[in-house]
Amino acid sequence: MPSDFDEWPDEPDEPDEPDEPDPEARWGSPEEDLVSVPSVEIPGEGEEEGAGVEIDGDLAKLFWVTVVYANVALAGISIGLLLVAFRGQWGWGGGAVAVGLFALYRTYDLYRTYQEEFGGEGDEGDEPADE
């Protein structure tokens, strides 16, 4: 009978019993059996281009600031509503909702700034066609 201190009570005492199959035998040797995969040369590998797209520094800064504001808005509004609804903490919950709404307004304001400054660049499909 196995004791509580046996690490593997279901394992046989002798590993080479003839009546028990070896579970690893069905897999073979993966190092020798696998098909050799050819290597592929990726164009532009090792260059500092990234995805091959250049982005203006001001546009990148505007994007990341908008992402941070949107995350603060989402967290503030959702956590604030949860505090008010489930704990009845109107002070903390109301403050969190207020911060979230302010961040949501700033997100919208930054989007309007983007539309004014960068909205016309690269959008050929938005312009009306001359007839």
Which residues, in sequence order, are CB contacts of 118 under 8 Å at separation 6+?
Answer: 56, 59, 62
Are 98 and 85 in contact by the 8 Å Cβ rule? The answer is no
Q: Which of 21-35, 49-63, 80-94 has the lowest mean pLDDT?
A: 21-35
Percent share of the chain, pLDDT over 90? 41
User: How far is 123 from 118, CA to CA, in rounded Å?
Assistant: 10
Highest mean pLDDT range out of 51-65, 93-107, 115-129?
93-107
**Domain positions in the chain:** 57-119
Q: Would you give the distance in Å from CA 59 to the centre of its chain?
A: 22
Per-residue pLDDT band for 5 (boundaries 50, 70, 90) equals low
Output the CA torsion sign for 41, 47, 48, 54.
Answer: negative
Are 110 and 65 in contact by the 8 Å Cβ rule? The answer is yes
Q: Report which residue type is found at 57.
A: G
In tens, the pLDDT along 22-41 reads: 777 777 777 777 777 777 77
